[in-house]
Amino acid sequence: MSLVFKPEETFRGDYTYRNSDAAILRFPFPFPEDRYMYSVNIEPHVRSGPTDAFCRPFDIDEHYIAECRDRALTLEQDPGRCQVLSHMMTAQWDTLELLMENMAADYPEQFSLTKDGDVFGSRWTWINRPLGIEQSFIFGDPDTLPCEPFEYITRQAQGDFAICDQREDNLYLDAGMITSQADWSLEFNVGMNFMEWHGPVPLAHQAGVFERALKYLLMLRLGQPVRRLNWTMSINPRLDTSPESYPEWGPDRASVTVENAGGKVHLRVELQTLWRLPRSNAILFPIRCFLISVEELARVPKWGKRLHRVLSSLPPELVEYKGLTRYLPATLAWLAPLDDGAELATGIGPDITELAPI
């Protein structure tokens, strides 16, 4: 797959992040219908989907280099965004192996992995051409890497990563590389079980969503990953919207007007996948974050109209939980002229193959 990276774009400060036409058309738009409500919405993570963003196990796009640089900046300011409990070393190696093998297979122009065996003690060589990395190491020996294996490989991947240890018929968040989260804290959540971690989410508990999801995930099988979409909104294309950095981004919510909502308000979509790991029996939970401004998204007519309808019909509890209260009216006012009320096809695909010129 040919990729043209945009290494100079930024996710803070001057916010130069933008999506190309191709990136807009491959966006994982999360709303198949005109109304939204929480659901488990889990499906097999296969090599196909409504847009290209679904078609590889670990998606890499034009923002790869810039996102890796932003992660490094966040970790430099707050090393606690990567935490791994001591019993998770085997799961760390499982994660490194899974990511390296899939990245090298799907993007051979960018990555390569050479191995003299598949067992601990084998010598491996990893090459990451976009980031200029070549590293030989002993698989299973953390002293042969610059840092522990989970941090090493997730510094080189887009999206956040959590590892859940399975014990006592529950899942425990016992490791994470979390630098682009939607207002939740790894520092606060590490070590929590599945229900504790999802405790603040409104409406979904009453609907039994998390009970069904946990029961399903405890039975997740090796080699049969699954996926789902989640979403929220952010002001500016900022990856790091953690509670720890709230003073840097929270006040931006008050800066939205009807005139600037199209450029400042961003739909933030998480393509969440879940993988059973082979040696540790833990579950890897990658959370791939995609950002798109409302005006970029509205270049796909179906998506602009549907976003207006979904946001117009959200329950108040979800508006409050997702932090939309202050700027939702301005966003709806910006979108309203684009919605002619015409019936829209179900499904999340763009239903067009190219965008009209700006």
Q: Which residues are catalytic?
A: 228
> Helices 328-335 and 301-312: crossing angle, nearest 10°?
140
CA distances 77 to 91, 237, 343, Å, are: 26, 19, 48
Q: Burial code of 42-72, b = ≥16 C-beta within 10 A, e = fewer?
A: beebeeebbebbbebbbbbbbbbbbbbbbbe
Distance CA 22, CA 196 (A): 39
Amino acid at 101: E
Distance CA 268, CA 240 (A): 12
Pair 200, 321: CB distance under 8 Å? yes
DSSP helix/strand/coil, 194: helix
Q: Which two tokens stand for residue 274?
A: 């879940």
Short-list 14, 130, 162, CA closest to 66: 130
Pair 282, 94: CB distance under 8 Å? yes
Could you please report the per-residue DSSP string of 229-272?
EEEEEEESS-S-B-GGGHHHHGGGGGG--TTTHHHHEEEEEEEE
